[in-house]
Structure 1
Amino acid sequence: MATGEEIAPALQDSWGDFWFFRFFVNAAGYASIVVPGFLLIQYFKRRNYLETGICFPVIKSCVFGSEVKSVHQDDGSLPPRAEPTESSTARQVFKLLSCAAGLQASYLTWGVLQERVMTRTYGATEADPGEKFKDSQFLVFMNRILAFTVAGLYCALTKQPRHGAPMYKYSFASLSNILSSWCQYEALKYISFPTQVLAKASKVIPVMMMGKLVSRKSYEYWEYLTAALISVGVSMFLLSSAPNRTVSTVTTFSGIVLLAGYIIFDSFTSNWQDALFTYKMSPVQMMFGVNVFSCLFTVGSLVEQGALLESLRFMARHSEFTAHAVLLSVCSACGQLFIFYTINQFGAAVFTIIMTLRQAFAILLSCLIYGHTVTVVGGLGIAVVFMALFLRVYARSRMKKRSKKLPLGESPVQKV
């Protein structure tokens, strides 16, 4: 592995390789679609375009929707969760183990492949050092096109609630989602995978801040306490990694900025989707609506830059990359379906525990496969982070049990 001093020139061979330039170019591509769309929506709203015609159903669905909202937000987010009974305990245990195995297999494979694609070369021989794949946006497009296909087939084959949300409202979550995914892929060029996993675990802090800003939510003292513990643990890990100047542990300024971008965009995505669930819809409908716009934005930007053909040529040159990119997309799409099914069957608390364990396993697997080193202080920081996450799950489950025992007319403080 190269040293930290050797990586800097390679990362910035030209302006085209600098992440900020690529981010600006991508954003310009999205703007070329968003701005005309925004102007059209404003035009139809000013005209109150609700008259019959060949384009009427499309315009009504995209701009106006049915505007029917559910009485309670939870009504549209998930169908009622089936409670396990004593007669079906064995089946419930089997379902739980299957969900846990599916989530772990999907996202651990996804994490390993993500690091492989973004940090290693393809086509290397004794005479040729090979080449790295640089376009993170193409990987986002690959993930979204498969997720769109899977969600579309699922909606077509199963009964779904009557859709009422204006389609354009999905574009906000879609735009922030593809930007957060792009930052996530791009950050691996500058920081180690364990650092990224811990940063993702700490996103509860900006999610709380965004929740107060977007949804006006209130929080309990234990939520602030666990958020502070997560911050302390992440800080311990990052500071302990600073003296080791290898590619596997160095945390550059660019990496920090990209991680901050990922957390901010992802926090907005979750809060905006939470607000959209006030319309009566299923999670798979949400997945379909968001990925429709994600495919539109990414393919439009790739075509405008000429990067789509270049990425396809890279796939043609390196069959190993093709297999990795396809498997990456399959794991992402299957993982989303496992998420919906697990929450529906066992609730958010069980799902959070499974995914928290997955983050710990991901760090361990990355260290074993790619040789990342973790100091004693860094290991303690990781332990503090996961202790805080489990404490958060425990406190939330206790609060939910207590809220069920409250007399009618009393309600606890709203949580996220």
Structure 2
Amino acid sequence: MRSKIIIASVILACILTTWLFARLYQELMTAYEQSGSLMEVEYSWLFRLLLNIGGYATVLLPGFILYKYLDRSNYFDKIGNSTHLSRILHACFGEPTERLPESIKPTKVEESTTREGVELAFCFTGLMGAYLVWGLLQEKIMTQSYLLSDGTVVKFDDSQFLVFINRLLAFLVALGRLLCTQQPLVSAPLYKFSYCSVTNIISAWCQYEALKYVSFPTQVLSKSCKVIPVMMMGKLISRTKYELYEYVTAVMISVGMVLFMFGSHDDYSVSTVTTMSGLTLLALYMVCDSFTSSWQGALFARYSCSALQMLCGVNLFSCALTAAALAHHTTTQHSLTLLQHPVFAMDCLLLSVSSAVGQLLIYRTIARFGAVVFTIIMTLRQAVSILLSCAVYGHVVSLGGCAGVALVFAAALLRVYCRRRLRARRQREVHA
């Protein structure tokens, strides 16, 4: 009885902390929105980002306090899962009790090269289709204006609201699918998903926000060099050891994509719509995005999550965090009103559907092939999309651009060849 009273008091204290932080956040948001000078400077995005993080803190900080109390008091060892409250807390903060020890886990069976190739082709094709649609709609929503029925021309600029809509639909799709198939909703402590959720929504926000300061081609160019940051983050988070050929092919892909983008379309070489704010946002996007995929890869490896469980867990936190930040935005009401515009509503729906499908394929790819292979697939997707644009619209690819795309695909083929040789060598060593 005493332990129940204590945990109830701690939860009540967390709720009070949430309320206090929400009030403080609301005051800060009001002060920012009433200060015209802050909203007009080039670095106003930094204030918005800090305010968003303050909104996330209203959820994360009380959760952190509760987690530290449960950990230091050895709550789960003392109470177990005897009550509904303890089971809820265990799902949020406790380690699974039904996982097999590493020593008795079944050995993974190596799949055939053909089956692996088919799976890789499926992931590549699906990601390309989903994110081609997503990229086009993202640029349209963030850069175009919408004509309302009363003749007013409105431009949408609330990146946080767009992130919330995308994550909400993805969460509902994943939850519905898990319930229909009667799969466990979680296979890892829920708080583990919060790390990649925070970096996921920050990277998405930075990506949308960057389009206000840099051209779309510049943003695409920055994404093409993500392979090396992802490998560095993999070493930092999971202590992953990469072979020499993986470093070589990563550099080849990055160099090839830079050559290809500067030589494949006039917009890529002459665009000057780039500012220091835009470059900073792109750098922050790359760091957060690299952490997200690497952390998800670590969760897949440790807890054997399914793609749907990962989609559900990450987007549950994403919805909670973005909703906490949006609750006190005065622009939120404007964004909700704009949803009454049929074209804007349809654009948001299609964007969210393509984002949900893309996320599901992302998690499937990371779970099956790892974060680095996923990043390479996305880089190749960008190259193919630009080649398609050149073919459809008659853009000329320069000699340097041709050399760049040849280098990218040569690196991808070299990686496949080296991986097959390394796998064959290890199999010979096992059987020897």
TM superposition score category, shorter chain reference:
0.7 to 0.9
Q: 1:307 to 1:373 in 2, by over 3 A?
A: farther
Aligned to 2:8: none
Provide the TM-score with structure 1 as the length reference. Answer: 0.77
Paired residues for 1:139-158 under 5 Å: 139-158=162-181
Residues 37-46 or 380-389, more deviating: 380-389
Q: 1:117 to 1:304 in 2, by over 3 A?
A: same
Paired residues for 1:383-398 under 5 Å: 384-398=407-421
Offset at 1:323?
Answer: 1.0
Q: Is the CA contact 1:175–1:294 (under 8 Å) kept in the aligned structure 2?
A: yes
- The reply to whether residue 29 of structure 1 matches residue 52 of structure 2 is no
Of the two structures, which has the highest relative contact order with CA contacts closer than 8 Å and spacing of 6 or more? 1
Offset at 1:151?
Answer: 0.9
Report Cα offsets for 1:277-335 as digits up to 9, x if no partner.
Answer: 2113212111111111010001110112234322112222x321111111000011123
Q: Is the CA contact 1:186–1:258 (under 8 Å) kept in the aligned structure 2?
A: yes
Q: C-alpha distance in 2, partners of 1:252/1:224?
A: 31
- The reply to whether residue 120 of structure 1 matches residue 144 of structure 2 is yes
Q: Is the CA contact 2:297–2:371 (under 8 Å) kept in the aligned structure 1?
A: no
Paired residues for 1:5-404 under 5 Å: 14-15=40-41, 18-50=44-76, 51=79, 52-69=82-99, 102-123=126-147, 130-158=153-181, 160=183, 163-233=186-256, 236=259, 248=271, 250-277=273-300, 278-316=302-340, 318-339=341-362, 355-364=378-387, 377=400, 380-381=403-404, 384-404=407-427
Question: Which one has the largest radius of gyration?
Answer: 2
Aligned to 1:7: none
Aligned length: 386
Q: 1:346 to 1:378 in 2, by over 3 A?
A: closer
Percent identical across equivalent pairs? Answer: 49
Aligned to 1:412: none
Look up the equivalent residue of 1:172 and give its one-letter code: Y
Q: C-alpha distance in 2, partners of 1:340/1:181?
A: 16
Q: Tell me the secondary structure at the aligned position of residue 227 of structure 1.
A: helix
Offset at 1:40?
Answer: 1.3
Provide the TM-score with structure 2 as the length reference. Answer: 0.74
Look up the equivalent residue of 2:312 and give its one-letter code: F
Structure with greater helix share of residues: 2
Residues 48-57 or 167-176, more deviating: 48-57
Q: Is the CA contact 2:234–2:294 (under 8 Å) kept in the aligned structure 1?
A: yes
Residues 285-294 or 186-195, more deviating: 186-195
Q: Is the CA contact 1:146–1:330 (under 8 Å) kept in the aligned structure 2?
A: yes
Residues 367-376 or 300-309, more deviating: 367-376
Look up the equivalent residue of 1:267 and give its one-letter code: S
Q: Tell me the secondary structure at the aligned position of residue 251 of structure 1.
A: coil
Q: Tell me the secondary structure at the aligned position of residue 202 of structure 1.
A: coil
Q: 1:347 to 1:296 in 2, by over 3 A?
A: closer
